[in-house]
A and B are shown apart, each in its own frame.
Chain A
Amino acid sequence: AQSVTQPDIHITVSEGASLELRCNYSYGATPYLFWYVQSPGQGLQLLLKYFSGDTLVQGIKGFEAEFKRSQSSFNLRKPSVHWSDAAEYFCAVGRLGNEKLTFGTGTRLTIIP
């Protein structure tokens, strides 16, 4: 069975600083990997996805993520965070031929001035 671990429950970053959110997955074959963002009181918005090919993927709002098969990781990064990036971030894993996703428990990001 596939699973996702987001080891950081809560991260605090200063505005303008760089950000890295961790995601580790467990799955035997090549996974489909996703990052979603959820602002308070809102639904989830897809930030970026990895299906195949280039292991560094670019997403919306200046985010990027890198797929590292050897580390079973798909970490999310942003070079300089903005106060509007404060939200909860979810990593998810799926696979070819299966339309179900498994989500991590989320990382809450707080931005301090």
Chain B
Amino acid sequence: DAGITQSPRHKVTETGTPVTLRCHQTENHRYMYWYRQDPGHGLRLIHYSYGVKDTDKGEVSDGYSVSRSKTEDFLLTLESATSSQTSVYFCAISEANEQYFGPGTRLTVT
């Protein structure tokens, strides 16, 4: 257990509304990640962070932003949610090149 929690675990929102997902870790890991999981696509990296205020884009970053103002929290924001962002979102941390995942957030955009 890498001490990763995600909130909320489930959310339904309407198209055009902003949404923020939170990832919290308790073990001071430097690297944190946001992925989305969709059928037929596996996990795709949205954004990642390599330290406080240090973030970079992944392969599917359009429509998403992130922030990391303290080591333990990594926030993913959908500025204006679209139906194509309906997905399961996973946060992960990295320790010695191994990634450990949170329980996921199921987001539905109607």
The chain A residues found within 8 Å of chain B, CB to CB, are 6, 9, 32, 34, 36, 42-46, 49, 51, 90, 92, 94, 96, 99-101, 103-106
Nearest A residue to B94 via CB reads A99
Chain A hits for B99, CB < 8 A: 34, 46, 92, 101
> Given contacts A43-B90, A51-B97, is CB(A100)–CB(B45) below 8 Å?
yes
CB within 8 Å: A-B pair count: 47
Dominant secondary structure at the A interface: strand
Query: Per-position contact with A for B18-45: 1 when CB-CB < 8 Å, else 0?
Result: 0000000000000101010000111111
Number of residues from B at the complex interface, CB < 8 A: 22
Nearest A residue to B6 via CB reads A43
Partner of B97, one of A90, A99, A106: A99
The chain B residues found within 8 Å of chain A, CB to CB, are 31, 33, 35, 40-45, 48, 50, 58, 90, 94, 97-104
Partner of B50, one of A36, A43, A99: A99
Partner of B102, one of A43, A49, A51, A104: A43
Chain B hits for A92, CB < 8 A: 99
Q: In whole angstroms, what is the CA distance A9 to B39 when docked? A: 10
**Residue of A42, A44, A96, A105 most packed against chain B (CB within 10 A):** A44
Would A49 and B42 count as touching, CB distance under 8 A? no
Would B48 and A100 count as touching, CB distance under 8 A? yes
